[in-house]
Amino acid sequence: MKPNTQQLHDLTTQVRRDILRMVHAVNSGHPGGSLGCTEFLVCLYQNLMERKEGFDMDGMNEDVFFLSNGHISPVFYSVLARSGYFPVKELATFRLLNSRLQGHPTTHEGLPGVRIASGSLGQGMSVALGAAQAKKLNNDSNLVYTLHGDGELQEGQNWEAIMYASAKKVDNIIATIDLNGKQIDGTTDEVLPMGSIRAKFEAFGWDVLDIKEGNNIDAILAGMTEAKSKTGKGKPVCVLLHTEMGNGVDFMMYTHAWHGKAPNDEQLANALGQNAETLGDY
């Protein structure tokens, strides 16, 4: 049975706590984007995706997910662990030597739930499209989901893949763009303005929809359900998820400063105080 809205809220709070404690423990990592995408990934894994028991790399007869903006690995690892892919206690090994939970997800450690190495930005779309076409060839009706940063779209390889997707009518993919308007060196407009991302995807032949409240669980569930209804109709589907970097921690919000910066002891205590314990920490 799928969790109710309150359970999703509680898990979101727990995942935020995980993120904060993971990056604090090693004084390294990317809390900003991780916190901004927490509600989305919790909803995706707990409610939206059709998943089967266990994990295998072929992903047959289930929905699969590819994280393209791999630097937000803290939220990815937490959601995977809290969704049963590996023990929650393993989160304590984040970024340690010989850990399966490296700063960017990789595959050679064999961490369940991780399908591609995403240390270099801009490659997730290409891999996901290959997986989506493989599903079609195998008569597998399940979907492929991806997540990308808006700053990541400054990488040119994305646009080759985006053009390919519509040309080949890859209509079993939902690509979500984390639109927080920030990246490591400032706002996306300051670093490299991209204009209207909606207009660009539409010009490349995609079906595009917005989730204006990208940190609202009800809005995410409604928007992604609408996105699913648009699949199978000859066009790839793009979701523009409007989020706030650092969401849930007041001093991390409305700035790019926490893109790749860990909190100190005092800041951690403050942040955890804003996110009351729910399930119990690892």
Nearest CA to 227 out of 81, 48, 100 is that of: 48
Contact status, residue 95 vs residue 125, Cβ threshold 8 Å: no
> How far apart are alpha carbons 18 and 243 in whole angstroms?
19
At 217, the amino acid letter reads: I
**Confidence bin at 178 (pLDDT 50/70/90):** very high
Nearest CA to 64 out of 178, 151, 141 is that of: 141
Q: What is the pLDDT of residues 211-268, one digit of tens each?
A: 999 999 999 999 999 999 999 999 999 999 999 999 999 999 999 999 999 999 999 9
DSSP bridge pairs for 179: 242
The model's pTM is 0.97
> How far apart are alpha carbons 164 and 205 in whole angstroms?
10
% of the chain surpassing 90 pLDDT: 95
Q: Is the pLDDT assigned to residue 27 strictly greater than 80?
A: yes
Structure tokens at 77: 């690892």
Task: Check residue 81 and report its DSSP letter.
Answer: H
Nearest CA to 278 out of 8, 3, 67, 5 is that of: 8
Structure tokens at 193: 């303005």
Domain range list for the chain: 5-273
Q: Which CATH number fits domain 5-273: 1.10.760.10, 3.90.550.10, 3.30.9.10, 3.40.50.970?
A: 3.40.50.970
**Confidence bin at 277 (pLDDT 50/70/90):** confident
> How far apart are alpha carbons 55 and 86 in whole angstroms?
10
> Which burial class, exposed, middle or buried, applies to 255 when counting CB atoms under 10 A from its CB (0-12, 13-18, 19+)?
middle
**Confidence bin at 280 (pLDDT 50/70/90):** confident
Question: Coil, strand, or helix at residue 144?
Answer: strand
Q: What is the pLDDT of residues 93-129, one digit of tens each?
A: 999 999 999 999 999 889 999 999 998 899 999 999 9
